[in-house]
Amino acid sequence: MNNKKSGFVALIGRPNVGKSTLMNRLIGQKIAITSHKPQTTRNRIRTVFTDDRGQIVFLDTPGIHKSRNKLGDYMVNVAKHTLNDADVIIWLVEPDAKVGTGDRHIMESLRSADTPVILCINKIDTISHEDILPVIAAFSEDFEYSEVIPVSAVKGRGCEDLIETIFKYLPEGEPFYDEDTVTDQPIRQITAEIIREKALKCLSDEIPHGIAVTIERMEYKKTIVDIDATIVCERDSHKGIIIGKQGQMLKKIGSAARYEIEELVERQVNLKLWVKVRKDWRDSELYLKNFGYDKNLTDL
């Protein structure tokens, strides 16, 4: 008798709580980009964990935050829409006993979800064991969870407990993907995100939210992949910073991205980067569509 389980698990939380880091840790491979800057994830990303217990399809979402432009509206809608598709919801929070306004907003969104909710307290490596209990008490005061699991996405602590708990609540069923699948993200999209991640890590704080990356060409040859990519920014002054003195910043971003892309495509990469200015693109429906942020939420 086949008692394997299979289902969709949504990872939600405020920006920068470590959702992408946790998802990468759980599947054992880097798919979602990470940085110390909030709102790094912009689209919903599916990754797949499969073992002899069954299959978990993780849905990593943008952080739920107060939107300031149309890109922000899109990101929040993606995150909230994902709740309707999940068999289990993991709400990731930081180990802070003070429940903030953003957390309460998420809590209200979860009240209407007829889905098991697992409160996952991340970054426990940054606090003592005794400090975890006040965090659990604070978040449990106004909400009843199916389970509470403390973890460290960076160190891997508690992650197997989390996987085991997820399987406990998934329905029985056949897997959605074959056992070798790790993500359904196209290579071009992952490549664009790798470049954006390296830009986030290299650039100053005022620029990253205003950049996007598009892949203009990705041509596979026998031993090399030729990639032409464009970093889009909102200001002429930003363009100068991204390029840097004598092109040094752009070279730095390209070198960092090239190494990781070569691991992804398993061959040498010839990466050429350009920078273009598209003023206030985050508030332009046309540019959002061109940069891949207009996808119908019903198709996510």
The CATH number linked to 141 is 3.40.50.300
The range of the structural domain enclosing residue 33 comes to: 5-169
Nearest in space to 26 (alpha carbons), one of 149, 191, 197: 149
What pLDDT sits at residue 19? 85
What pLDDT sits at residue 296? 44
What pLDDT sits at residue 28? 85
Asked, for residue 276, whether it belongs to a domain, the answer is: yes
Nearest in space to 31 (alpha carbons), one of 228, 142, 184: 184
Q: Which is higher by pLDDT, 67 or 164?
A: 164
Query: For position 278, which CATH number holds?
Result: 3.30.300.20
What pLDDT sits at residue 295? 52
Asked, for residue 179, whether it belongs to a domain, the answer is: no
Q: What is the mean pLDDT of residues 42-54?
A: 81
- 156 and 199 in a single domain? The answer is no
pLDDT band at 47 (very low <50, low <70, confident <90, very high): confident
pLDDT in tens, 196-255: 888 988 886 666 677 888 999 999 998 999 999 999 988 888 999 999 999 999 999 999
pLDDT in tens, 76-132: 565 556 667 789 999 999 999 899 888 888 888 888 778 999 999 999 999 998 999
206, with CB counted inside 10 A (0-12, 13-18, 19+), is exposed
Laid out side by side, the sheet with 212-220 consists of 212-220, 224-233, 268-277
Asked, for residue 182, whether it belongs to a domain, the answer is: no
Indicate the residue among 134, 169, 204 that finishes a domain. Answer: 169
Q: What is the mean pLDDT of residues 181-192?
A: 84
What pLDDT sits at residue 17? 86
Q: What global pTM score does this model have?
A: 0.69
- 32 and 164 in a single domain? The answer is yes
Longest CA–CA span in the chain (Å) reads 66
Asked, for residue 66, whether it belongs to a domain, the answer is: yes
- 28 and 161 in a single domain? The answer is yes
- 278 and 237 in a single domain? The answer is yes
Asked, for residue 251, whether it belongs to a domain, the answer is: yes
Residue 133 pLDDT greater than 60, yes or no: yes
- 113 and 77 in a single domain? The answer is yes
Of 22-36, 37-51, 53-67, 152-166, least confident by mean pLDDT is: 37-51
What pLDDT sits at residue 205? 67
Q: How many domains does the chain have?
A: 2
